[in-house]
Amino acid sequence: MSLAGLARDAGDAGDYFIPYPDQVLENVLENVLVFLKSRRDRNAVSLVCKSWYRAEAYTRSEVFIGNCYAVAPRRVTKRFARVRSVTVKGKPRFADFSLLPQDWGAHFTPWVAVMATAYRALEKIHLKRMSVTDDDLAVVAHSFPNFKELVLVCCEGFGTGGLAVVVSECRHLRVLELIEDEVFDDEVDWISCFPSDGPSNLESLSFDCVESPINFESLEKLVARSPLLKKLRLNRHVSVQLLYRLLIRAPQLTHLGTGSFSPLEESNNENTRETDYVSAFAACRSIVGLSGFREIAPEYLPAIIPVCANLTSLNLSYANIDAEQLKPVIRHCHKLQVFWVLDSICDEGLQAVAATCKDLRELRVFPIDGAENAEGPVSEVGLLAISLGCRKLQSILYFCQQMTNAAVVAMSKNCPDLVVFRLCIIGRYRPDHVTGEPMDEGFGAIVKNCKKLTRLAVSGLLTDMAFSYIGQYGKLVRTLSVAFAGDSDIGLKYVLEGCTNLQKLEIRDSPFGDSALRSGLHHFSNMRFVWMSSCQVTQEGCLDVARQLPRLVVEVFRRDEEEGGQRGDFVDTLYMYRSLDGPRADAPLFVKIL
Amino acid sequence: MDLINFEATELRLGLPGSTGEQPEKKSTPSPVNTNKRSSSEMDSSISEKQDSSRSPPPTKVQVVGWPPVRSHRRNILQGKKSESEMGSGIYVKVSMDGAPYLRKVDLKVYKSYGELMKGLQEMFKCIIGLYSEMEGYKSEYAPTYEDKDGDWMLVGDVPWDMFLTSCRRLRIMKSCEVMES
């Protein structure tokens, strides 16, 4: 019995045909498995025996593909026939930092083409770092009658024209979230393309990354007829005055992206305006998440004070404000769990955060200025303050110009719940600026004391010692990011031999070569990917790995797209990953697959 | 791969630091490992600093993708600043009737209408041809531009320098439509 075939036959109904199972046991199992959501549990279930494998495959409704090239689309649709939600991730993360050539791949087209016939009842598509075209979006709009949710994160290749097709034809659309995408400005008025007859089902609309202006009148009408709208994230073309008009129409919002948060024209009566905004925010009793502030006029920031007491998430990472401007607001945010901010608030601002936000779980401090200066607005002082005040911290991303081992050690002891520790000392090769020592001991303490750590990014002056610590203590580490660090192959060897749970390894500009690469042969097949750029691996070394691990796809290329992949004696970029279906057919000319 | 001594590469099961060989000396380590091979963008700084490759590089060195901040975020923040820093390029949007998406060109790159036409033809893979006062554009497409006042003009009407200062955006229209407007 071919389930895929049965599913196809019933395709037009927009739902799946459920066959009568022959075995009672499988029937019972299926009914139980329906409740199993975790994909790790499901993978375990599928390994028990063939019968359980089949039952698990019938009942898996959410498919997660961590690497679009690890498996061919058809293999997925053949195994899982009754899928309602698909998540696909494409490019390696270093693509975000211009380290991956433009036309490398991660095309959504082959996936959507196969799903269009196999998954007629598909409701949700979630893509990250994929190349998506307007045509792909059109296929989505036309193929899935029950389509409800589209979430695109860090994607590119489509424009406002593609969005228009989706919003006009997907009548059941509840969620459209565009997060950090690059969206072409085709000058199509997509906001006006939402069906205007009757109330909409829209629950979440995020377009803060869309650089083109939008038709505000249409947006206002859309918001007015969307009683279920809970999340609204505007782009920077929505001024604070226009935001006000939306706020008073949607007091039921839980998450708001405020747009530019600055006035469009000169406001002639400051006081009245401010009072109005405060009332508008005060009326939004349900807001728990705030973001946006794309071009903030700091004098408007206090308007959000009425909602601060309930805020669990605040993203000020586009707001160039100082400590004095932050303090009146942050001191009300007792419930804050997620806080993203610019280093413009300085150590003093971080101290204010530490004083109030006792429940903080995630902190991200981004740099305003990426130049490698000696001075920076935040330092070990801010890090230490946070570690003392926010004991429940689980995740931190901290950009700074200088750091000390002492502060990092302190954090490792004060914040034992840390799962994610990403410290980026912008000055490359910078040692502890007080002792002159490498940053080995700090990171060593993190892996040693933070027993739940799964993700680590290192920086500063680091010797092989740091990697020896990571290999020795970082047993739960799944993701490791290394840049401009280490002395020799030994460093990488420590990691590959010690970090038994390593899944994703991304390294740039570090002196690791073939010998180190070889020491990971036993583990590469258990990993999602390995990225090494501007290191010291040679063509022969990579070829060796490719020969010994036939299930691994070993890609070699140059960032500037010159063919051959070599830069002098060494390989410019090595990107390798396991795949069930061999090397991809869509590799551009400059990518060499060994 | 240069090894300072055998012990440095020896794999041991002892706790780190138990060798007695402290990492202090690594604060100004031998430059060999980093000098041998570096990404091209660092070559210029590294070759000047053979002895102290581990000291902070000159502040103006532009290393690609560093610090690891998404270009989207970086551009947004420096949006206002970069317009003046971008070497005073004049970026205008270019659309072509029938083409699926817009492009951007830096007008500063071109020295004349002829060069601009060549560039646009390359970009959109079309034939525009040259402008003549009498006959307009002798081809399927005609380039137009929106000037400071919001009016749409045929490209080539005014001297090149004046065009540079007044052009806000470009649109390559079908010739037949130009006649009508």
| Residue B72 confidence class, pLDDT cut points 50, 70, 90 | confident
pLDDT mean over A70-86? 95
3-state SS assignment for residue A351 = helix
- Pairwise pLDDT comparison (A449 vs B129), residue with the higher score: A449
- The DSSP code sequence of A243-287 is HHHHHHH-TT-SEEEETT-S-SS--S-HHHHHHHHHHHHHH-TT-
Give me the torsion for CA of A432, A435, A436, A440, rounded to 10°.
Answer: -50
Quote the percentage of chain A above a pLDDT of 90: 81
3-state SS assignment for residue B132 = strand
A206, A179 contact by CB (below 8 A) = yes
Mean pLDDT rounded to a whole number for chain B: 63
Interface contact A259, partner B, CB < 8 A = no
Instruction: Report how many helices (DSSP H) and strands (DSSP E) chain B contains, helices first.
Output: 8, 7
CA B154, CA B137: separation in Å to the nearest integer? Answer: 9
For residue A490, the chain B residues in CB contact (below 8 A) are: 8-9, 11
For residue A493, the chain B residues in CB contact (below 8 A) are: 11
Residues in chain A, total = 594
Predicted pLDDT of residue B21: 39
Q: Which two tokens stand for residue B92?
A: 């205008």
A390, A416 contact by CB (below 8 A) = no
Closest-approach residue (CA) in chain B for A97 = B65
Which region among A281-290, A479-488, B123-132 has the lowest average model confidence (pLDDT)? B123-132
Report whether pLDDT(A3) > 80.
no
CA A289, CA A348: separation in Å to the nearest integer? Answer: 24
For residue B24, the chain A residues in CB contact (below 8 A) are: 437
Predicted pLDDT of residue A546: 95
Report whether pLDDT(A24) > 80.
no
3-state SS assignment for residue A539 = helix
ipTM: 0.85
Nearest Cα of chain A lies from the Cα of B161 at a distance, in angstroms, of 28
Predicted pLDDT of residue B158: 85
Q: Which two tokens stand for residue B82?
A: 């970069």
A26, A401, A465, B88 from B81: Cα distances, Å: 64, 21, 41, 11
Predicted pLDDT of residue A317: 96
For A384, list phi and psi in degrees, rounded to 5.
-65, -45
CA A443, CA A409: separation in Å to the nearest integer? Answer: 8
3-state SS assignment for residue A487 = coil
Number of Cβ pairs closer than 8 Å across A and B? 144
pLDDT tens figures, A433-469: 999 999 999 999 999 999 999 999 999 999 999 999 9
The structure's pTM equals: 0.78
H-assigned helices in A474-538: 489-498, 514-518
With CB atoms and an 8 Å threshold, state whether B37 touches A465.
no
CA A343, CA A331: separation in Å to the nearest integer? Answer: 18
For residue A154, the chain B residues in CB contact (below 8 A) are: 70
In the 3-class helix/strand/coil scheme, how is A229-252 assigned residue by residue?
CCEEEECCCCCHHHHHHHHHHCCC
| The amino acid at A16 | Y
Predicted pLDDT of residue B15: 55
Interface contact B37, partner A, CB < 8 A = yes
Report whether pLDDT(B100) > 70.
no
Closest-approach residue (CA) in chain A for B21 = A465
Report whether pLDDT(B19) > 70.
no
For residue B29, the chain A residues in CB contact (below 8 A) are: 463, 487
With CB atoms and an 8 Å threshold, state whether A134 touches B56.
no
Interface contact A134, partner B, CB < 8 A = yes
Q: Which residues pair with residue A126 across a beta bridge? A: A87, A151
Q: Which residues pair with residue A258 across a beta bridge? A: A234
Report whether pLDDT(B53) > 90.
no
Q: Which two tokens stand for residue B33?
A: 């490992």
Interface contact B72, partner A, CB < 8 A = yes
pLDDT tens figures, B75-95: 656 544 443 334 456 778 888
Place of tokens 């001191």: A331
Q: Which among B17, B59, B69 is the nearest to A366, CB-wise?
A: B69
Place of tokens 């502040």: B59
Residue B179: other Cβ atoms inside 10 A: 10
pLDDT tens figures, B148-157: 888 888 888 8
3-state SS assignment for residue A441 = helix
CA B124, CA A469: separation in Å to the nearest integer? Answer: 55
Predicted pLDDT of residue A283: 93
3-state SS assignment for residue A566 = strand
For B167, list phi and psi in degrees, rounded to 5.
-75, 125
pLDDT tens figures, B32-48: 333 333 343 333 333 33
Interface contact B17, partner A, CB < 8 A = yes
CA A56, CA A4: separation in Å to the nearest integer? Answer: 15
A147, A140 contact by CB (below 8 A) = yes
Report whether pLDDT(A369) > 60.
yes
Predicted pLDDT of residue B9: 56
Sign of CA dihedral A327, A333, A336, A340: negative
| Residue A276 confidence class, pLDDT cut points 50, 70, 90 | confident
- The DSSP code sequence of A34-65 is TT---HHHHHHHHTS-HHHHHHHHHH--EEEE
Place of tokens 């006035």: A263
A17, A7 contact by CB (below 8 A) = yes
Report whether pLDDT(A234) > 50.
yes
Predicted pLDDT of residue B81: 41
With CB atoms and an 8 Å threshold, state whether A96 touches B70.
yes
A509, B54 contact by CB (below 8 A) = no
pLDDT tens figures, A238-266: 999 999 999 999 999 999 999 999 987 65
Q: Which among B16, B27, B67 is the nearest to A424, CB-wise?
A: B67
3-state SS assignment for residue A107 = strand
Report whether pLDDT(A338) > 50.
yes
